[in-house]
Amino acid sequence: MAELIKGRELADNMQEQMRLEVADLKKQNITPGLVVFLIGDDPASKTYIKNKEIAAQKIGIQSKLENFPADISEAELLSEIKKYNNDPNYHGILVQLPLPEHIDEQKVLLTIDPKKDVDGFHPVNMGKLLLGQPEAIPCTPYGIMKMFEAYEIGLAGKNALVIGRSNIVGKPMAQLLLAQNATVTMAHSYTKKLPALARQADIIVSAVGKGHFVTKEFIKKGAVVIDVGMNRDENGKLIGDVKFDEVEPLTSFITPVPKGVGPMTITMLMQQTIEACKRQELD
């Protein structure tokens, strides 16, 4: 019987520790600050941001939302970001993706001061991760590494398969697994005979964004399965990339959707805001 990796529970425990850490910082007159930019009114982004605000409030982080209309000019947005680069009260800056088509995502990410990039997407932070000297790490892969740690899932010498090669999850996930001495394979839409390849994996991280894509044909008995997918089925129900009911009996550990990876992503964002604050205020 598989053990369920309870992301919600782990996130709550970590956030309680963070609350105590922030209380200590406040005794030194230091309050971690996070500003979130939302462009337009995408419903999924709004929900995600609301959850971030709830977490920040619970932990004691000062959180501010800058919501701009979808037709804001690129120049205006860059100028707003620069304001916060120079504002000592805000230690973390996050721009909620995706952005409207007329705004260059790379330009926006490059404008954020790498020291305040709590999402870990700035090329400087991506480069540090590649060199094995991570400072800010993309939050979803970072949260997954915390899950492995909490559940004492050893990675050294294991075969790990990452399905999906996005900059947000797939690529940084592969780097973090490599740093823990796993042997990593990356799969994507061009990978041939994927189920056969997956059956060689001790650990599967699926971030492909296709509902119920990973079936029992992908699973070696005893594998660890991490489901990053957030998809909706035909009835609007939230489902993962993994066909949970048929995959779960074959695994040793598995994450549910919801209450799996999602809560950990927001938790790591809060953690990195606190870390950025300490680097800026105490170093």
Known binding-site residues equal 164-166
Q: What are phi and psi of 185, to 5 degrees?
A: -115, 135
147 inside domain: yes
CATH number of the domain where residue 164 is located: 3.40.50.720
Query: Do residue 178 and residue 249 come from a single domain?
Result: yes
Residue 259 near residue 6, CB atoms below 8 Å: yes
Sequence letter at residue 113? D
Helix 7-27 to helix 139-150 angle (10° resolution) is 110
Query: Do residue 252 and residue 144 come from a single domain?
Result: yes
Of 52, 115, 158, 171, catalytic:
52
pLDDT of residue 1: 77
CATH number of the domain where residue 86 is located: 3.40.50.10860
pLDDT at 37 over 80: yes
Query: Do residue 147 and residue 232 come from a single domain?
Result: yes
Query: Do residue 55 and residue 154 come from a single domain?
Result: no
At 42, the pLDDT band (50, 70, 90 cuts) reads confident
7 inside domain: no
Tell me whether residue 52 is one of the annotated catalytic residues.
yes
Taking residues 142-153, report their average pLDDT.
98
13 inside domain: no
Tokens of 170: 């797939």
pLDDT above 90: percentage of residues in the chain: 94
Give 211's Cβ-side CA count (13 Å radius). Answer: 10
269 inside domain: no
Lowest mean pLDDT segment, chosen from 36-50, 97-111, 219-233: 36-50
Closest CA relative to residue 93, chosen from 80, 104, 105, 106: 80
Known binding-site residues for NADP(+) equal 164-166
Give 90's Cβ-side CA count (13 Å radius). Answer: 23
Query: Do residue 164 and residue 109 come from a single domain?
Result: no
CA angle 153, 169, 82 (to 5 degrees): 130
- Which residue segment(s) compose the domain that 55 sits in? 30-113
pLDDT above 70: percentage of residues in the chain: 100
3-state secondary structure of 232: strand
Of 115, 116, 117, 119, catalytic:
119
Q: How many structural domains are present in the chain?
A: 2
Instruction: Quote the CA–CA distance of 216 and 199 in Å, as a whole number.
Output: 9
Can you tell me which residue has the tokens 């721009």? 95
Query: Do residue 152 and residue 243 come from a single domain?
Result: yes
4 inside domain: no
pLDDT of residue 52: 95
88 inside domain: yes
Query: Do residue 95 and residue 174 come from a single domain?
Result: no
Plot region of 110 (φ>0 → left; ψ -120 to 50 → alpha; else → beta): alpha
Query: Do residue 250 and residue 171 come from a single domain?
Result: yes
272 inside domain: no
Tell me whether residue 96 is one of the annotated catalytic residues.
yes
Tell me whether residue 202 is one of the annotated catalytic residues.
no
At 216, the pLDDT band (50, 70, 90 cuts) reads very high
pLDDT digits (tens, 9 = 90+) for 175-188: 999 999 999 999 99
Q: What are phi and psi of 92, to 5 degrees?
A: -130, 140
pLDDT digits (tens, 9 = 90+) for 229-252: 999 999 989 999 999 999 999 999
Taking residues 114-121, report their average pLDDT.
97
